[in-house]
Amino acid sequence: MIARILLALSLLAPAWVHAADVNVQAPDEVRKLVERVLRQWEAPTPPRDAIAVQRAVVQARRLVTDALAVEGWFSPTVTLEDAGDTLRVAVDPGPRTRVAAVDIEFAGAIADPPEQWAEGEARRAALRESWGLKPGEPFRQEDWNRAKRDLLNTLLSEDFAVAELEETQATVDADTSEARLRVRVDSGPRFALGEIRIEGLQDYDRALIERYGRLRPGDPFRAERLLSLQSALQNTPYFSSVTVEIERDPGLAAAAPVTIRVVEALPKRTSVGLGVSSDTGPRGEVVWRHVNFFDRAWQAEAGVRIEQRRQLGFATLQRPPRPDGAIDALNSIGERTDIENLRLQRVLIGVSRTRLRQAQVGTVETRLSFDYQRELTRIPGENEQQLNALTANWSWTRRALDNVLDPRQGTLLNFQVGGGTRRLLSDQDFLRLLVRAQRFWQVTPADSIIVRMLAGWTIAPSREGIPQSFLFRTGGAQTVRGYPFESIGVRDGQAVVGGRYLLAGSAEYVRWFGEERRWGAAVFMDAGDAFDARDAFRPAVGYGVGARWRSPLGPLAVDLAYGHEIRRFQIHLSFAVAF
């Protein structure tokens, strides 16, 4: 019985096992291409009569010849030989076809003479200059298709909403290995925005949409402006779906109607979350949100977060963006922490204005706030201390990243300044400065380097009378790994409290694995100190290894770090996202 099964399997097995039984002789520039193509080749199965073998050989020759033509080799010599259990393939690709000339013709409004449209000549010259397949370059089918697509998309994105390729032709001369390209594009009429129609509004008025980007009748058509408004509205909590479209009717080009369709989201939402942090322990939180408070599109949010070492309650009332994009908010926080024997209770109320704008590279966010806070601190064995501070604070953040949630290349820079004075409800005169920077390098598709730096200085005669939130402690998953959270600072009795100076840095190398590169391994070194006198700087050093997983919320990091000064290992769990 077993012998019969083995005999049946041997009859069903292919005579050639694809790439393993294909011997390719070809120049280096085409060998990998030929080998990849022949993996798709269907080898004949027994019984292997002469007709089946000849059919398979013809198929293999056609696959190789077609693949070479797509890459610009139109006159190859392909020799195939059936050597029993092996297919021998010899390839001489011949000369590669290159582009000899490109002729781009224009029709429609883009071809209007200067007296009708002054910008026409410059636009045509720019389109010809940006053409992606220039004379002298190899003629590849993929490059040819991309060049045509990019030319059309450039026209469709600015002024010409109904542009089309009227004629495209690539003439290949196999004898001279030259390709002559011809493209005729009809731009159609120039489009300008007409009536702005808004559909789907029920709880909000038209002014809310105009706060996020106003389209004006008569403006030239720019696809980027429509997409920008759509993206801005979609990112608000007010709408679950948004589309912004222009009516692409050539007869209405002079004043093409624009339709903004929205589906409003539910205004009230309550969320519950559970989590764990190696810094502050297990946590649970409840957050309530109402995005149409007072029926005026104000956003109200309140929540409670309970952690092992920190408990926090907060409430925020935020107005919709002003015409200039600024967002005003009223903020309140109540917080209690017990970290490194420093027990702290803090209550804060304040107002803020935040503005986000697009920079030449990345985005720039600024925030100005005025806060009043009362802080109660207690160190075991000492009396309680109550501090008051009315502070003005300003923050500037520049993000120039390829991906905000999962950066692989780019730079972040943050600068903060804030302080208070005895003349205005503060117990001490002080000014706090903080600089944070992160740099990401993608050395190869699988290798990344991350460097971080923090430097802070609280300018004051001493740390007495200054709230802890305006002093510095460090240590933990996001600063100096290998040490407990905020355990590096100034020793005061049994507790670690904040100092007036901070200096810390980190260097990390990450290697990602697999085709999707969702899993990675890291090695790192951190060093830093928070201290109260310039000559007291004693950096604590930590180093170790970690695992990374690219989750939908950003890279999840699990690190095993060794604190050199305390001679102890520490496990850190965090989302390794940029600030």
**HEC sequence for 475-497:** CCCCCCCCCCCCCECEEECCEEE
CA distance 187 to 248: 13
What is the C-alpha to C-alpha distance for residues 245 and 191, in angstroms, rounded to an integer? 13
Evaluate if residue 274 carries a pLDDT over 50. yes
Minimum mean pLDDT among 166-170, 322-326, 473-477: which range? 322-326
pLDDT for residue 19 is more than 50: no
- What was the pLDDT predicted at 50? 67
In the numeric block, which tokens belong to residue 47?
């019984």
Q: Which of 17, 38, 47, 20 is nearest to 80 (CA)?
A: 38
Q: What is the structure's pLDDT at 454?
A: 97
pLDDT average, residue stretch 500-522: 95
> Among the ranges 3-12, 69-78, 337-346, which has the highest mean pLDDT value?
337-346
CA-nearest of 547, 513, 542 to 527 is 542
**What does pLDDT average to over the chain?**
90
Q: What pTM value is reported for the model?
A: 0.77
Mean pLDDT to the nearest integer, 447-452: 96
Question: What is residue 44's predicted lDDT score, i.e. its pLDDT?
Answer: 55
- The whole-number pLDDT of residue 90 equals 82
Q: How confident is the model at residue 47 (pLDDT cuts 50, 70, 90)?
A: low
Helices and strands of the chain, counted as H and E runs: 7, 27
Q: What is the pLDDT of residue 198?
A: 96
Q: How far apart are CA 47 and CA 528, in angstroms?
A: 74
Q: Sheet holding 178-186: strands in order across?
A: 98-107, 178-186, 164-173
pLDDT value of position 20 = 41
Of 4-8, 75-79, 405-409, 534-538, give the lowest mean pLDDT range: 4-8
Mean pLDDT value of segment 504-512: 97
Residue 578 pLDDT class (50, 70, 90 cuts): low
Predicted confidence band of residue 9 (pLDDT cuts 50, 70, 90)? very low
DSSP secondary-structure letter at 427?
S
Across 76-161, the runs of DSSP E, i.e. the strands, are 77-82, 87-92, 98-107
pLDDT-derived band at 68, boundaries 50, 70, 90: confident
Residues β-bridged to residue 503? 455, 529
Tell me the percentage of the chain whose pLDDT exceeds 70: 92
In tens, the pLDDT along 126-152 reads 999 999 999 999 999 899 999 999 999
The whole-angstrom separation of Cα 97 and Cα 176 is 8
Whose tokens are 């994009």? That residue is: 325
2 has a pLDDT exceeding 50: no
> Maximum CA pair distance of the chain?
102
**Distance between CA atoms of residues 161 and 427, nearest Å:** 63
What is the structure's pLDDT at 25? 78
What letter would DSSP give residue 233?
Answer: H
Asked whether the CA dihedral 497, 533, 460, 431 is positive or negative, the reply is negative
What average pLDDT does the segment 18-46 reach? 69
8 Å CB contact between 101 and 181 = yes
